[in-house]
């Protein structure tokens, strides 16, 4: 099994969309934590920092996965495009 050769039975565009949604969650939680840490201690939103602190770490592994799934989608599209031209 080669990690850089797409399996024809898998739709990598669906995999890419799932990884992209997790990457969006990473940016959302990282931005939210960054925003909450800039608030002073008396602000009413600052108490929510303890709830979401570090949640963004869960979604970090999806960032390189987006690149891999994008590459696999691109290669799969090239392979399917070549098959359509041959027919």
CA–CA distance, 54 with 37 (Å, rounded to integer) = 12
pTM assigned to the model: 0.82
pLDDT in tens, 30-78: 999 998 888 777 777 777 788 889 999 999 999 999 999 999 999 999 9
CA–CA distance, 22 with 18 (Å, rounded to integer) = 6
CA–CA distance, 59 with 68 (Å, rounded to integer) = 15
The reported pLDDT for the residue numbered 41 is 77
Sign of CA dihedral 19, 25, 27, 29: negative
CA–CA distance, 61 with 22 (Å, rounded to integer) = 9
């Amino acid at each position: 099994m080669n990690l850089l050769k797409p399996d024809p039975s898998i739709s990598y565009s669906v995999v890419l969309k799932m990884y992209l949604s997790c990457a969006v969650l990473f940016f959302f939680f990282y931005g939210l934590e960054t925003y909450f840490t800039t608030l002073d201690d008396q602000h009413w939103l600052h108490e929510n920092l303890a709830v979401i602190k570090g949640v963004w770490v869960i979604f970090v592994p999806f960032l390189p996965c987006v690149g891999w799934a994008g590459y696999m989608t691109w290669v799969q599209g090239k392979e399917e495009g070549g098959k359509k031209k041959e027919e």
